[in-house]
Structure 1
Amino acid sequence: MTLSCGLDFGTSNSTLGRVDANGVPQLVDLEDGQPTMPSVLFFGAEDRTIHFGRAALSEYVSGADGRLLRSIKSVLGTKLFDDGVRLGARVYRFDDILGIFVAEMKARGEAVTGLELDAVVVGRPVQFVDDDAVADAEAQRQLEQAVRRQGFAHVEFQFEPIAAALDYERQVAGEKLALIVDLGGGTSDFSLVRVSPDRAGRPDRTDDILATAGVHIGGTDFDRLLAMSRVMPELGLGSRTLDGKRHLPVAPYNDLSTWHRINRLYDAKALRDLRSTMREAREAEKVETFVMLVEERLGHRLIGAVEAAKIALSDSDEVAFSFAVRERVIETSITVSQLGEALAASIGRLEETITETVRLAGIGAGDVDSMILTGGSTLVPAVADRLRAMMPDAEVVRTDVLGSVGMGLALEARRIFGP
């Protein structure tokens, strides 16, 4: 017997959804009883084993020798997709890496359900790549190819915010005009959708989607911006050369702050360039700490600590940031207002995209009944507060921020493929 499912392959976390015999969507437990699995792989150098999700993060944090890969969705549609990643004696292309991760999700889903999964609706952002239709189409093709190679005979796509709307629709009593705000790890998508119990069963919902828009901004960008603003200056960013005539190069700090670019710093030439920068730097000790960090391959762990600080600011006005590198410690404090300042330009782009979504729909902000918040980045107060202020009269509904898209994709899969 075959089974259809919904696959939400996220920048930070992934889920697999299915619909039970009573028509209720649910997420399959993918790891240690959890319905979410971090979109992370760790290639162990010693045991030649590939670890996934939390287990991958655990291996990395334990100091095991190997290579951590995270935010792999971010390379879709970009030039980085064709790059190879050397892991031991083998070079993996990113389509291989995507396929390995999808195959693991499929295998775990089949182990839990006891059924073969061969039909899937895959979630996709409204835009994989901003303002580039050709690259966007190529990104979907790359993802579809990786999914099909793992044994899915039938593959369809649905926008992630539309999937969130399908999940939300199960709880509404009457018709509403909903703005779906889906702020994920790598992209932010917005959709204006009419939802109601009567519309839920329709095979074609095209007319209910008034407008969609998206921008390539998400949680990993927030991590990068916070790192560049508060942590990288502790490693020399913004300082000058000994002669005072120029600032130190910015590119290495950008690489260290960007998940899928960190591995570039571990190249021998990149390390030589950093050491050369250290010799020219007025604040050489800070740059030396940067060099030590790269030598110890602590880049991903550093940005993981930045991400943890960002999350902690959802509940605290200020957090103390501390990160050890050999005998040294990178220390600073981060306040909610500083986080807001670091993200101000990006939040402004989110606001502009929402305004464009409303304009495309031909309505006013006051016509929106509900603002549906989904995706982990909606938990950042600096973001959520400014979005709420755009539509003060709309009911704010917070969904299962990590699960609503997967459950909506499962509903769409049942509609298209059946059980």
Structure 2
Amino acid sequence: MATLGIDFGTSNTAAGWMQRGAPVVIPLEGQNATLPTAIFLEFGSKRTLYGQAAARAMMDGEDGRFMRALKSVLGTPLARERRQFMAEKLTLIEVIARFLSEIKARAEAATGQTFDAAISGRPVRFHSVDAARDAQALVDLTQAYEMAGFGSVSFLPEPEAAALSVKGEGRILIVDIGGGTSDFTICEKSGLDTRVIASEGIRLGGTDFDKQISLSHIMPLLGLNAQIGNEFGEGSHSAPRGLYNDLASWEKITFVYGDKTVREVRRWERLARDPKVFGRLADVLEMHLGHDVAYAVEAGKITANGASEAMIDLGVVEKGLGVSLPNGDLMAQLFPAAQDIALCAEATLKAADMTPDDIDRVVFVGGSSLLGVIQQRIGLMFPNAAMETSEVFTAVVDGLAIAAGARVGA
């Protein structure tokens, strides 16, 4: 029975297996090592598209439902709500199962193997402040794997998987900042042996960083904090913040659309002191542009991280519309999140009964670990440790492949 290692991520997914004693990442989309964790249910042809094809269909304005960051709904009531998708009602667990089934099929086609079992990465904690939701998330994900056709599935915390693939010796802190969570493992490596000493995690990651930037820089252009005049009499009130929070959250965008919401926003537009901003919001909702805006924010974040300034281009909403995102603003905006992440790193040290001076190396994995504000804050905590950026996008899946191989003797 062949076992497939799957790093099912909030933003990207990868798969790997052991071949001739070495971990091999299986290309899932062309020669790409990772596949965007994105799904598009195309209404006209009733096809389901995955990865970059799903994102292209959304950006091309195809008629359908686009979903991304579905890992974030695991453990929440939203995961088990039945919703109308095309001609059937599905839960989001079933949608995730279809995505995992596609990963299985692509991996089998690429390798000629049949993968009856999976070893999946998981955050140290799906929900760091709600133990019940954290436990339910694992139940939900297990069910999704079973529905995807895997006879058995086991789980390994993602930073512990990355620890297996990191080369070298000594005491190492793995800093794994992904799309939805930040996870830490302290391990000791000696030769081929890896001993996990402590692991901790927090529900905070790249999609949360995108949300912060969107709420501070983009949503005011769509009416956040703008005043709506009372329908009768004098006075005014702010637009309800809940809609903007959902529109700025990757996993909730697809559920804000609807004729009732558009009609309500058009009413705000009529009553507003600045009708233009609510007109933009109504256009975004009417034309289903929420994910286009989110992608623009994500691109601006990435650019600003490596440059003095970036422009978040919102031309898809209104010709010539955009907002500047200086690197200094990015650093300041994300500093509170970096502080929370540093506190979790401290908790990992405490669980290991260690001090920063006990750590020889800090290894960053996960796409969001590349953010300068994160690396600087962690670097201040470990002034005597070597800072390394490992295989950022594949360290976890490499480790899962190693673990899978060890279980079947590959």
TM-score tier, shorter chain, comes to over 0.9
Between 346-355 and 130-139, the greater mean CA deviation after superposition: 130-139
1:10-409 residue pairs with structure 2 within 5 A? 10-21=9-20, 23-168=21-166, 171-172=167-168, 174=169, 176-200=170-194, 208-242=195-229, 245-325=236-316, 328-409=319-400
Distance 1:46 1:213, change over 3 A: same
Q: Deviations over 1:89-134 (max 9, x none)?
A: 2222111101100000000101111011012211000001122222
- The alpha carbon displacement at 1:217 in A equals 0.6
Measure the CA separation in 1 of the matches of 2:221 and 2:129.
35
Tell me the alpha carbon deviations over residues 292-328 of structure 1, each in whole angstroms, 9 at most, x when there is no partner: 1111110001101100111111221101222124654
Distance 2:332 2:268 in 1: 29
In structure 1, distance between residues paired with 2:349 and 2:318: 53
Look up the equivalent residue of 2:109 and give its one-letter code.
A
Q: C-alpha distance in 1, partners of 2:107/2:255?
A: 34
Q: Contact between 2:186 and 2:199, CA under 8 Å: does it hold in 1?
A: yes
Deviation at 1:388, TM superposition (A): 1.4
Q: Distance in 2 between matches of 1:110 and 1:198?
A: 29
Letter in 2 for 1:179: L
Q: Residue 222 of structure 1 aligns to which amino acid in structure 2?
A: F
Deviations 1:26-62 (A, max 9, x none): 1001111112100001111111111110111111112
Tell me the amino acid that sits aligned with residue 34 of structure 1.
Answer: N
How many equivalent pairs are there? 406
CA distance in 2 between partners of 1:333 and 1:314 (Å) = 13
- SS of the counterpart of 1:143? helix
Q: How far did 1:330 drift? A: 2.8
**Greater mean alpha carbon deviation, residues 296-305 or residues 327-336:** 327-336
Bigger CA drift: 103-112 or 232-241? Answer: 232-241
| Distance change (3 Å), C-alpha of 1:360 and 1:376 | same
Query: Which segment drifts farther, 84-93 or 47-56?
Result: 84-93
| 1:203 equivalent in structure 2 | none
Shift of 1:244: 5.8
TM-score scaled by structure 2?
A: 0.95
CA distance in 1 between partners of 2:275 and 2:162 (Å): 49
Give unpaired runs (5+ residues) of structure 1: 201-207
Q: Which runs of 5+ in 2 are unaligned?
A: none
Paired residues of 2:305 and 2:330 also in contact (CA < 8 A): no
Distance 2:8 2:332 in 1: 30
Contact 1:119/1:417, CA 8 A, preserved across alignment: no
TM-score (norm 1): 0.93
Amino acid at match of 2:118: V
| AA aligned opposite 2:276 | E
CA–CA separation in structure 2 for the residues paired with 1:81 and 1:110? 28
Letter in 1 for 2:175: V
- Name the SS of the counterpart of 2:93 in structure 1: helix
Residue-by-residue CA offset, 1:216-273 (whole Å, 9 max, x unaligned)? 1111111110111111111121222346653322111111111111123212222222
Matched letter for residue 172 of structure 2: A
Percent identity of equivalent pairs: 35
Answer whether contact 2:289 2:317 (CA < 8 A) is retained.
no
| 4+ residue segments displaced more than 6 Å | none
Which stretch shows the higher mean deviation, 40-49 or 381-390?
381-390
Cα separation, 2, equivalents of 1:188 and 1:288 = 37
The two structures, once aligned, show a CA RMSD in angstroms of 1.5
How many angstroms apart in 2 are the aligned matches of 1:382 and 1:360? 25
Separation (CA, whole Å) in 1 of partners of 2:30 and 2:196: 37
- What is the match of residue 204 of structure 1? none
Question: What is the CA distance between 1:198 and its match in structure 2?
Answer: 4.3
Q: Equivalent residue for 2:3?
A: 4
